[in-house]
Structures are given as C-alpha cells and as structure tokens.
A = this chain, B = another copy of it.
Amino acid sequence: MSSVRYTDLSIEQLLACKQDLEQQYAGFAARNLKLDMSRGKPAGSQLDLTNAVLDKLDTFKTEAGVDARNYGGLDGIPEAKKLFSELLSIPEEKLIIGGNSSLNMMYDTIVRFMLFGTCGATPWCKLPKIKFLCPAPGYDRHFAICEDLGIEMITIPMHEDGPDMDMVEQLVANDDSIKGIWCVPLYSNPQGICYSDKVVERLASMKAVADFRIFWDNAYGVHHIYSEEKLADIFAATEKAGNPDRVVYFFSTSKITFPGAGVALLASSLNNVAEFKKHMTIQTIGPDKLNQLRTVKFLKNAEGVRAHMRKLADELKPKFDIVLNTLNKELADTGLATWTNPKGGYFVAIDTLDNCAKETVRLAKEAGVVMTGAGATFPYKKDPRDRNIRIAPTYPTAAELQTAMDLFCICVKLAGVNQLIAQKKA
C-alpha cells in the first residue's frame, strides 16, 4: 500500500482506491470498536509499575521533623525539594513543591499575574489587552487557560528545533501587550520537538517587556524513550542575559508516578518565588505532605527517578513502535501525510493533506476510535490548515493500538483520497 503515491494518481485511479478504502473502513466499522487515543493517559499496566508508591510509610515525620499529617509547609517538604533539585539541576530555594497538578500551578501563576501583576508591573487585568505567544501545534490545555482568562493568542509556527524564533523576537520586541509564551521544551506536546540550545538562548535574551514571562512546562523532562535528548538550562540562560525573572518552570510526577495523585512543582527566580509565596500563603495552608513523603520514599533520588523512567520507557517503546511502524508502512510515500519521530514524551503528531484532519478524526470516531479533536493543538481550536492530528499511544493495549492505528491510517487515506478527488472535480 505504501508504494502508492496518491497525489500522482488520476481521478479514475483515485475512485478505485476510494472504493477499496471504503471496503476496508466498513470492515473496521463492523467490529464495534471502542478505543480511546484522545488523551495522554498511561495504561493501567503502566500505572501498576508505580503501585509501591502507596506502600505504608515508616514515619510521618519529614526531615524537618514536621508531622506530615498536620498543617503547615507551604512550599513542600525538604526531602522533596532535595530530590527534584538533584533531578532537574535547579537550586532548592527556587522550588515550590505543590499538590497533584502542574496545570493548576500554571493557571494560578497566570491568575496571580492578572490580579497582582509581577515585579511591580501593572496587574494584567488592568491592561486593555494581554497577548500570549502560542507555538503550535501545542498543548490544548495551555491554550484553554488563555481563552478562559481572555488572553489573546498569537500562533507561532514550530520548526524542528523549537518555535520560529525570528517571528517570536520580532513580535515581542514590538508589542508591549505580549506578556508570555507557552513552551514545552523537551519532547513537545504533540510533536516531540526538543528546543535547541540556540532557541533557549534566544528566548532567554530577546528584548521584551519586564513582565514578559516564559511558561516553561517541562512536562516530559525525564520522559526519554528512544534516546536521551538534552535541554539547555533556561535559568542559566536568562541569568546570563540579565533577565533572571523571565522564567516560570513547571514539572510534575503525573507521568512518573500517578497522573491523578502525583506531585507538581514550579521553579523560578528567588524574587518570583518570594512573590508567589506571599499570595500562596493566603490561598492555602499547604499541599498534601503525606503524598510528597510517599513519592520521595518511592523514587528515592534522581537516579531512582531515571531508573523508574527506564521501566516506563520499556512499557511505552513497543507502543511508539506500533504507531511509527504503522505510519511508515501505511503512509510513507503516499503524499497524504507527514509526521514527527519523537525520541520521548507522550505523543506523535501527524499532518494530513490540508483540510483533511477533521474528516480523518470524524471517520475514526464513527468507526469507534476516539482521537484528540482535530484543531485541538492550535489556539482557539482552529488549525488554519486543518491538517494536524495528535496521536496518544499510551492508553490502549498494544493489540488495541495496532487495530486503532490500522483504522487510523485508512481514515487518513480515505479523507485524503476524497480530498484529491474533490480537487480534481473542481
């Protein structure tokens, strides 16, 4: 199949292909599939590798002598700071260890900037308009935060080494209402792109207003699968460039331990951390210290995290193999799709022919396979070329995933062939 280059076919040949593809599609549709590839959720078998995190604690006392059952400890227990400091090479005093959701920490950080401003600047909610740069395809939940808070989003194209920095620099230098940029710098969601050292350096040093902030969501910072990609130190870069307060860094164990019961953190300059804590101490008495304690007991130290991630990678690699091998077998050289080959993270992103993503996702859904909605990877859920689809291979079993990918490739082809036929008729 993959030897057919659909874009070179005549309308008669395309119509014959269409008939064939429709038959294949009908075969899948008759199987009453119910498969979900819509979210980056680990499978139950992957979660089982972490069950020991729930083992009985030997002590409720933290290293500081505090009873973790009781109130107190706004920014996390010392042993959690030590672990994440070692793992991420960030000094402990820059860390705030929180509850179970880094998304929540991101939302609350922007809300604080809206209500209070930062480093003495005007609160963003008092300004007539606020804009964020949104490298896309990107993470739908980042964009949803902007939409919820009325922040205008500007789509930035992604290149192989990160966002289009010429465009980023040009925009930020000339528009004071641009206050932030969303970045998933390692194994980006959904393309698995890793920011180059040069991109990190340009983000850190570019001219921008004083309260411009990089939201550095290093969600997949230790989530290697095929190789261990490196990421430049954003704090070192911003400090060197004289912009020490520019970055707010986020991380969590949601995809290390349990998605619903992990430990999230943020890291930022001492200035920013002090400012955040001033408001956080009003918002809450503190995070769940028992969960921090059990997470540290399970992961032990940085090498413990890396060893655990290798186990998870062993679980994930066969699934990524299925996705990439099937795409390669079914869609390579067809002219109907291109895709990324991520070395880690949680997703593969595919570009169909223009105007075929929604139709592909619709076809898959009608045959029982739910994908992330087409457009979801762009601001306002609007993919200007309607071509990008996020594939989340982690939740189904290998057998389910193979079935889902076989169907998905048929859907890509059927939508593409229909599009080519329509173009030829027009």
Binding site for B on A (CB under 8 A): 39, 41-42, 44, 47, 50, 54, 56-57, 60, 67-73, 99-101, 103-104, 107-108, 111, 114-115, 125, 141, 144-145, 147-149, 254, 258-261, 279, 282-291
For the complex of A and B, the 8 pairs showing the least CB-CB separation, nearest first, are A69-B258, A107-B283, A148-B282, A104-B284, A71-B259, A261-B290, A101-B284, A261-B288
Nearest residue, chain B, Cβ from A294: B54
The distance in angstroms between the C-alpha atoms of A70 and B290, with both chains bound, is 19
8 contacts between A and B (CB under 8 A): A44-B70, A54-B56, A70-B258, A103-B283, A115-B115, A260-B287, A261-B290, A288-B288
Query: Which residues on B sit within 8 Å (CB–CB) of A70?
Result: 41-42, 44, 47, 258-260
Nearest residue, chain B, Cβ from A143: B282
Nearest residue, chain B, Cβ from A69: B258
Contacts A54-B57, A69-B47 given; does A100 touch B288 at CB 8 Å: yes
The distance in angstroms between the C-alpha atoms of A44 and B70, with both chains bound, is 8
Contacts A99-B99, A282-B144 given; does A44 touch B67 at CB 8 Å: yes
Nearest residue, chain B, Cβ from A289: B260
User: Cβ of B47 and Cβ of A261 under 8 Å apart?
Assistant: no
Query: Which residues on B sit within 8 Å (CB–CB) of A54?
Result: 56-57, 290
A36 to chain B, nearest CB (A): 11
Query: Which residues on B sit within 8 Å (CB–CB) of A145?
Result: 282-283
User: Cβ of A115 and Cβ of B107 under 8 Å apart?
Assistant: no
User: Cβ of B260 and Cβ of A69 under 8 Å apart?
Assistant: yes
User: Cβ of B41 and Cβ of A71 under 8 Å apart?
Assistant: yes
